[in-house]
Structure 1
Amino acid sequence: MVKRKPYSGSCRKLVLAFDVGTTFSGASYCVLDPGEEPKIKNIVKFPYQDPTNGSTKVPSIIWYNAEGKVEAIGAQAVLDATIKKAEVQQWSKVEWFKLLLRPKGLGGDGVDAFIQSIPPLPACKTIVEVLADYLRFLFQSAKAYIEKSRPNKEVWWNSVKSRIEFVLTHPNGWEGKQQSQMREAAVIAELVPDEQAGEERIHFVTEGEAGLHYCIGEDLLTEAVKGGDGIMVVDAGGGTIDVSCYKATGPESFEEVSASQCKVQGSLFVTQRARFHLEVYLQNSKFVRHVPCMVKKFDERTKHNFRAIDDLCVIQFGGTSDKDERHNIDSGQIILQGNVVASFFQPSIECITRIIEAQKDRIRTVFLVGGFAASEWLDEQVKKYAEEVGIDVCVPDSVNEAIANGAVSFFIDHFVSARVSKFQYGTVVNTLYLPYKSSHFQRRDKRCIDLSGKIRLPHAFDVILPKDTRVTEEQEFQEKYNCQARTIDSLENIQTRVLRYRGMRDTIEWISEDIDNFEVMCRIEADTSIATQGLLPRRRSDGQTYYALDFKIALLFGLTEFKAQICWTENGEEKRGPARVIYSTE
């Protein structure tokens, strides 16, 4: 592995990363001791986990009772005894809850229909509260595991408990709203106190970027990649397939070469396609009632062991007396043709190969990580396609540990210095009416008069950040605005909305041109009472007075988390103040 420089901080810290997955979750950590080389380690034991199965991950499943109390979670939730008790006591099972956080528009190809079929959360629980319960479980499990290897564990834990930096991973397609919900869940779970200093100890990294950090940390990059050849990181997980492309810009510096992508086509959907096939295939058989058991066995074994299209895949579900010759059932086993099983994988495989095809001129190596990367059939098909276009595919040994480990490395090493914008971002403005512009003249019936007496057109889209723009972490994007009001008090708090355009147009001037592809990303709110001090009233030609505040909004898109500030000029000097970024819960 890559040798890291000794930690230069003055006091001990603990870095904890939680990779909450759709089907399985993991955790990694690093103790930062002054003068010591940081070493990343996995949490390899969770409560009730079978130590013989070799897995460092734990099921993302929770059982709740009628009052919303957690009765079983993680590995305990899948024990036969737990399942029987849950049936008797009528507990509610919550799984695949991560997909309920997905942003609007991230789905398609039958995904939305499947997600709508997920049993609803218990009436007394919100998705944020469910996530909080699971984060609390991961934290308590990590604490117990780390303490176990420490002498004077209470003294040692007290030395770090107020200085724990938490890194939470999320799919490439998750954005500010999802990060806001995750931070709220972390506060509810008491990972950090409900105050600004506490919330600043919560950090976010995309699963694609965490995958890159893992590959660098494991010294998997060739000299060609270190010299600038492009690489693609494909994190194939339970729910999503996250793809990011990078190139080296220095010995320890990388930047994105294209906007990251997120497709809801993870291994869970292979299982769901198998479920649908079995339900249809057995609809006229008495064994249709055994489909849930067949699907469970398929998910646990067949899916991972499938290797060849001419294989016969056997799923054991019953006893020797269970037979149905018409449906290839004998001695409690159903036999599926290899080409049928291959069809369950095909949409996910095509999802990856289409992205490789689109990026093949920019990359020379693909790193395939994540739990789904353990599938030999997926690996083989991706490698087969990639080799045809002259691209190498590398599947690291410990694909299950990659994202949690990489998340810790993200905090320690921070290799990525620039990212690429995925959408157009901007605000809605009332633009000055210019009758000589045809697009303005066509909208002349929508003209309005502002407080200064100028003629304007409403609902114009003012682009702050264009799509596919390379953005460094320190780079600001500023836009000037003028806010008018009849009283000065009305200008002491400024609010504006940042919109995201998901459509296909390269340029778009008016919201109405493609209204269905606009959505409010967030609201920016700032206390501008200081900026209004000394503002004098302005007078229109008709004698009416008004107040106007000229200001700029400075946005930072290059970080893994969106930030904003408000700027104004006072006595010729630029002043700045913090701006709150507020995400809608709707």
Structure 2
Amino acid sequence: MTARPPYNGAHRKLLLAFDVGTTYSGVSYSILTPGQVPEIKSVTRYPAQERVGGDSKIPTIIYYNKDGGVEAVGAEATTENVHEKAEDEGWIKAEWFKLHLRPKTTSTAGITQSLPSLPENKTVVDLFADFLRYLYACTKDYIQGTYANGAGIWTSAESQGYIDFVLSHPNGWGGAQQAQMRTAAIRAGLIPDKSDGHERVHFVTEGEASLHFCIQNGLTTESLKNGDGILIVDAGGGTIDISAYAHTASTTGFSFEEITSPQCHLQGSIFVTSRAHTYLQVLLQGTRFSGDVEHITNCFDKTTKLTFRNPSDSQFIKFGTVRDKDIKLNIRSGQLKVPGVDVADFFEPSISCIVRAIMEQSRASVKVISSIFLVGGFAANDWLFTKLQRGLEQIGFIFCRPDTHVNKAVADGAVSFYLDHFVGTRVSRFTYGVNCGIPHEPRNAEHVQRKSSIYFGCDGRPMISGHFDVILQKDTQISESAEYRSSYIRQSRNQAKLRNISAKIVCYQGSDIPRWSDVNSEMYSTLCHVEADTSDLAMRLELHPGPENREAYYELDFDIALLFGLTELKAQLCWIENGEEKRGPVSIVYEPDTIIHDNAEVKS
């Protein structure tokens, strides 16, 4: 474990890290007292929790009544009396809802069919807000009941706005998902909907949080001695997050850089259960047990899946009583016998996905990767670990699983991310830029084939639309302080139209260097709109004479500056005013992934 310096803030603060998982969720925290070394703790007491004082996770489940009100959450939602009341009163169960927030890409479009639908008249943000509100209340009760002055600590921090939050999310999520999570935090009452409230919410990928967990638990020490890279596999309920890092020279001795673009795959443990469900549907179709498929699947999920170790041994799913029997279906005394090889098949796509991703990361890395650490709730599965260990160690990797609580990796690591901040350099996952117009070149073959895209600017120059101007190329290593910018021009005959600038930042998911938005158009999507108030600048613009007796026009020159080194995208619009660079207040507005084909900007 690395030495952490005392907290040097002026006031006592609370730091809460919420790990909202697909199947299980938890909270870790730290009480930041000036002059004292912060410690990472976990909330280990929740309402209706079976293992009192020893479990840091609760099921990610919410029950709603017919009117949309919350009736039960977490461990409370799994009790027998709640199940009975839910059935009698028609409550709606919401689970696995986290994955409804995922980026909507072509590779994940089909996954919706295997997810439980959201309750009627509820959005995924509504569900996140309700669950965050519950976690917040549980954390409040825990801290107030655990410390001698717990009530005073909480009341003081809450009333003065001295509570910061870290929300973790899969590697594949970006600004749009972070914006929705922040909205959920506002609706949950965690923060006010003001700029200072927004700044109290921080984001970290599950892969980076897991790295911090491994460092704090001393797992990376031996791996760092030879200077090789390490790879973190966070296997959770919904996603598999793969991240690669290497140690860099630092006065602190613990500074890391990301050495290849992280990956995120929808192959977590729920998909093992989903494949078992499909198997059972086919097996029991047309039999008297066909109506029990959901119940049998649930029994598999809670028992057989967790204890599976050997495909040579038959597996048993206990779901009924001694009266439940059908020899032809291999059902005896309420137990369904399933060949071990079939159960192994349920795991195989997830295992193959992890191995394939590890090999891709290893090939793409700028450093040799020698050690792999498996963390996350799914990591506790012995068959997953054994199968991966056998395969990966045969090809030279050192593969291990922490002997500490692997399901706490993200929550604890998220607190460490805030306190220790070990990663200073990250790798861009995509290419980012702006769709704009450029001067038309009559002899340029690419321009000739796009002659239908020619238009004339206010200055009379022939322009061609559809050019993609790259601001940041994919797989670029970027430090937190690095800024990437490009220059543009906005022209208008109406001065008022330049009082506000809204530019679209576009994401390109291909591996090549893009030039035109009509090539591989399916690979482009709108990341966000960057908006800024430029009314003061617009009023000072000079009027330019129009060409050939056309109307005069105004021209605004500006730069779009992007900072991608942080875990949350930052953007600014910059311009020169009276010889000095000015930066306006900027708002970033995210929207669902769509293909964009507009030409608001002209390349400077």
- Give TM-score scaled by structure 1 length: 0.97
The equivalent of 1:558 in structure 2 is 565
**How far does residue 533 in structure 1 lie from its aligned partner after superposition?**
3.5
Amino acid at match of 1:144: D
User: In 2, Cα distance between the equivalents of 1:52 and 1:303?
Assistant: 24
C-alpha distance 108-526 of structure 1, shift in aligned 2 (>3 A): closer
Q: Is the 8 A contact 1:168 1:204 kept in 2?
A: yes
Task: Indicate whether 1:330 and 2:332 are aligned.
Answer: yes
**How far does residue 498 in structure 1 lie from its aligned partner after superposition?**
0.6
Amino acid at match of 1:69: G
Secondary structure, aligned partner of 1:497: strand
Q: Is the 8 A contact 1:106 1:173 kept in 2?
A: no
Amino acid at match of 1:120: L
Task: Indicate whether 1:524 and 2:530 are aligned.
Answer: yes
Amino acid at match of 2:566: L
Amino acid at match of 2:485: Q
The equivalent of 2:47 in structure 1 is 47
- Per-residue CA shift, 1:131-187, capped at 9, x if unaligned? 100000000001110111222433222222220110000000111010000000101
The equivalent of 2:601 in structure 1 is none
Q: Is the 8 A contact 1:227 1:248 kept in 2?
A: no
User: In 2, Cα distance between the equivalents of 1:452 and 1:185?
Assistant: 46
**How far does residue 515 in structure 1 lie from its aligned partner after superposition?**
1.5
**How far does residue 229 in structure 1 lie from its aligned partner after superposition?**
1.2
The equivalent of 2:124 in structure 1 is 127
The equivalent of 1:181 in structure 2 is 180
Secondary structure, aligned partner of 1:567: strand
Q: Is the 8 A contact 2:12 2:31 kept in 1?
A: yes
Higher mean C-alpha displacement, 133-142 vs 144-153: 144-153
Task: Indicate whether 1:580 and 2:578 are aligned.
Answer: no
User: In 1, Cα distance between the equivalents of 2:204 and 2:213?
Assistant: 12
User: In 1, Cα distance between the equivalents of 2:497 and 2:135?
Assistant: 46
Aligned residues: 582
Q: Is the 8 A contact 1:20 1:60 kept in 2?
A: yes
Q: Is the 8 A contact 2:169 2:204 kept in 1?
A: yes
The equivalent of 2:294 in structure 1 is 292
User: In 2, Cα distance between the equivalents of 1:166 and 1:109?
Assistant: 31
Task: Indicate whether 1:139 and 2:146 are aligned.
Answer: no
Secondary structure, aligned partner of 2:518: helix
Secondary structure, aligned partner of 2:148: coil
**How far does residue 53 in structure 1 lie from its aligned partner after superposition?**
9.5
**How far does residue 516 in structure 1 lie from its aligned partner after superposition?**
1.6
- Per-residue CA shift, 1:188-228, capped at 9, x if unaligned? 11101121111100000000000000001111113442553
Amino acid at match of 1:301: T
Higher mean C-alpha displacement, 106-115 vs 543-552: 106-115
Superposition pairs of residues 93-104 of structure 1, within 5 angstroms = 93-104=93-104
User: In 2, Cα distance between the equivalents of 1:106 and 1:334?
Assistant: 37
User: In 2, Cα distance between the equivalents of 1:185 and 1:554?
Assistant: 28
Q: Which of 348, 355, 364 is 1:353 aligned to?
A: 355
Secondary structure, aligned partner of 1:160: helix
User: In 1, Cα distance between the equivalents of 2:106 and 2:43?
Assistant: 31
Q: Is the 8 A contact 1:229 1:363 kept in 2?
A: yes
**How far does residue 457 in structure 1 lie from its aligned partner after superposition?**
0.7
Alpha carbon RMSD of aligned pairs, Å? Answer: 1.5
The equivalent of 1:476 in structure 2 is 483
User: In 2, Cα distance between the equivalents of 1:68 and 1:372?
Assistant: 32
C-alpha distance 404-226 of structure 1, shift in aligned 2 (>3 A): farther
Amino acid at match of 1:181: Q
C-alpha distance 374-223 of structure 1, shift in aligned 2 (>3 A): closer
- Per-residue CA shift, 1:218-271, capped at 9, x if unaligned? 111134425531011111000000110000113121011000110000000000
C-alpha distance 110-492 of structure 1, shift in aligned 2 (>3 A): closer
Amino acid at match of 1:138: L
User: In 1, Cα distance between the equivalents of 2:469 and 2:405?
Assistant: 46
**How far does residue 54 in structure 1 lie from its aligned partner after superposition?**
4.4
The equivalent of 1:309 in structure 2 is 311
Q: Is the 8 A contact 2:167 2:202 kept in 1?
A: yes
Q: Is the 8 A contact 2:223 2:230 kept in 1?
A: no
- Per-residue CA shift, 1:35-77, capped at 9, x if unaligned? 1111101111111111269432101110111221101111111
- Per-residue CA shift, 1:536-572, capped at 9, x if unaligned? 1101231220000011111111110011111111222
**How far does residue 122 in structure 1 lie from its aligned partner after superposition?**
2.4
User: In 2, Cα distance between the equivalents of 1:496 and 1:229?
Assistant: 41
Q: Which of 333, 336, 339 is 2:341 aligned to?
A: 339
**How far does residue 108 in structure 1 lie from its aligned partner after superposition?**
4.2
User: In 2, Cα distance between the equivalents of 1:130 and 1:66?
Assistant: 15
The equivalent of 1:267 in structure 2 is 269
**How far does residue 578 in structure 1 lie from its aligned partner after superposition?**
2.3
Q: Which of 422, 426, 430 is 1:415 aligned to?
A: 422
User: In 1, Cα distance between the equivalents of 2:307 and 2:99?
Assistant: 26
Higher mean C-alpha displacement, 50-59 vs 157-166: 50-59
Amino acid at match of 2:354: I
The equivalent of 2:28 in structure 1 is 28
Higher mean C-alpha displacement, 227-236 vs 26-35: 227-236
Secondary structure, aligned partner of 2:211: helix
Q: Is the 8 A contact 1:425 1:465 kept in 2?
A: yes
Amino acid at match of 1:204: F
The equivalent of 2:205 in structure 1 is 206
User: In 2, Cα distance between the equivalents of 1:197 and 1:74?
Assistant: 30
Q: Is the 8 A contact 1:107 1:263 kept in 2?
A: no
The equivalent of 1:228 in structure 2 is 227
User: In 2, Cα distance between the equivalents of 1:213 and 1:315?
Assistant: 38
User: In 2, Cα distance between the equivalents of 1:63 and 1:346?
Assistant: 32
User: In 1, Cα distance between the equivalents of 2:153 and 2:518?
Assistant: 60
**How far does residue 510 in structure 1 lie from its aligned partner after superposition?**
1.3
Task: Indicate whether 1:451 and 2:458 are aligned.
Answer: yes
Alignment gaps of 5+ in structure 1: none
The equivalent of 2:597 in structure 1 is none
The equivalent of 2:146 in structure 1 is 149
User: In 1, Cα distance between the equivalents of 2:109 and 2:352?
Assistant: 12
Q: Is the 8 A contact 1:40 1:408 kept in 2?
A: yes
Secondary structure, aligned partner of 1:113: helix
Task: Indicate whether 1:243 and 2:245 are aligned.
Answer: no
User: In 1, Cα distance between the equivalents of 2:323 and 2:494?
Assistant: 85
Amino acid at match of 2:388: V
User: In 2, Cα distance between the equivalents of 1:126 and 1:445?
Assistant: 42
Q: Is the 8 A contact 1:564 1:578 kept in 2?
A: no
The equivalent of 1:82 in structure 2 is 82
Q: Is the 8 A contact 2:97 2:118 kept in 1?
A: no
The equivalent of 2:596 in structure 1 is none
**How far does residue 438 in structure 1 lie from its aligned partner after superposition?**
1.0
Q: Which of 351, 363, 370 is 2:369 aligned to?
A: 363
The equivalent of 2:195 in structure 1 is 196
Secondary structure, aligned partner of 2:584: strand
Amino acid at match of 2:45: K
**How far does residue 107 in structure 1 lie from its aligned partner after superposition?**
4.5
Secondary structure, aligned partner of 1:512: coil
User: In 2, Cα distance between the equivalents of 1:327 and 1:216?
Assistant: 49
Secondary structure, aligned partner of 2:519: helix
Q: Is the 8 A contact 2:7 2:36 kept in 1?
A: yes
- Give TM-score scaled by structure 2 length: 0.94
